[in-house]
Copies of this chain bind each other. A is one copy, B any other.
Amino acid sequence: LASQVIQAYQSFSAAARNDFFDLLLEEYGPDHGQIVSAAQAYQQKPGFETHRALARAVETPRERLFQCLNLPAGGTSALVRMREDLLQQSTPRRVLLRGVEHDLRHLLQSWFNRGFLACRRIDWDSPASLLEKIINYEAVHEIRGWGDLRRRLEGDRRCFAFFHPSMIDEPLVFVEIALTGGIPRAIGPLLASDAEVGDEHQANTAVFYSISNCQTGLRNISFGGFLIKQVVDELRRELDQLQTFVTLSPLPRFRAWLSQQGETGGKADHVGRLAADIHRCLEDRPLWFQDDELRENLRAPLVHLGAHFLLHARLDELPVDPVARFHLGNGASLLQINWLADTSDRGLAQSAGLMVNYHYELDRIEANHEQFVKRGTVVAADTIHDLANELAGETRSG
């Protein structure tokens, strides 16, 4: 039966899927009466039996249905795709169906527990069908065909992915690494298809330069941090001369933040005014980085603003920038801001060409993570604090 539902769902048109979601919403949602009476029973006599009864009443019928839909082969990936469909509904529908989506997410979160995931290396001996997916799923620095991919899998590169045993052909998340001598300050040389292949046994640094989630249906069920830590372990086992583990990461919300500074009417402070000026300049002169003088003039303010942005721009007490939030939340620290590090269209449009090295120091990860989670502290190198302080100093003196 479950197998028929799964097959039917897969053949459904968008309209039929909508009907199916409406059914899940209306017929398989929480039973209010049952919950209320179980809640009252619990309030009158809290204990194992009444707690269990309440838990059972609170669990929706559709959660049990989803458990059944997982029984046949292919069930797990069908449920992942179902959540993808839910997330791609129009906004009002997404709000309407958020109970359905929440139940599905709750289940997937339990099933895609890191303990069930397998980390596998991906290389040029991997199946072409899998590599084709890597090409398609790469979300940070586009892979421009098989030749480009091949370079990213040479001896001085690594690629690892997490897989779930019920979806063995589908990577969940993958990370690309360059093995280098020293910490790179720009992405271009790493991505060049014709870059000379270095000797992995001479490298002292592993650079995580791209990490991509593959399954929209698993959005917000995060395993990227686990992957990075696992890969650090694997690399240390394979190449024990590696000393430094860093990322080379964009600041994807930097330009948007600059532009918002301009929008806020008050421009209360020096930082706000500077950001607004710089924003206008970048807008007016999109090819600014090709003009020697302009470029040099922009260097200092952009780097200072970058430091300020990373340290102080917050949303709900956490950094505004999602990449910063991700790596800092994993326990990495801010090591270095790199000027003109990514001059691709996207790098300029989102990060004003800046990139950051986040630093994964094994013996500090735990402490960094604690500080970040408990107090929102961004652990950063002194140079970055200095940059932000200089800006603040100007602000105070300005």
Contacts and interface: CB of A to CB of B under 8 A. Distances in A.
Interface of A: 30, 32, 35-36, 39, 42-43, 46, 48, 51-52, 54-55, 58-59, 67, 70-73, 75-76, 98-99, 102, 107, 110-111, 113-116, 124-132, 145-146, 150, 165-166, 226
Contacts of A111: 110-111, 113, 116
This chain's copy number in the assembly: 4
Contacts of A36: 42-43, 46
A71 B222 CA distance: 13
A359 B95 CA distance: 50
Contact of A70 (B42, B59, B115, B129): B115
Contacts of A35: 42, 46, 51, 54
A71 B113 contact: yes
Nearest to A102: B52
A256 B135 CA distance: 46
A48 B32 CA distance: 11
Given A42-B35, A58-B58, A128-B124, A110 B113 contact: no
Closest 4 CB pairs of A and B: A165-B165, A39-B39, A70-B115, A125-B127
A96 to B, nearest CB: 10
A116 B166 contact: yes
B110 A72 contact: no
Given A36-B46, A70-B114, 7 more contacts: A70-B113, A71-B226, A72-B115, A110-B110, A124-B127, A128-B128, A128-B131
Nearest to A100: B48
A27 to B, nearest CB: 16
Given A36-B43, A72-B115, A127 B129 contact: no
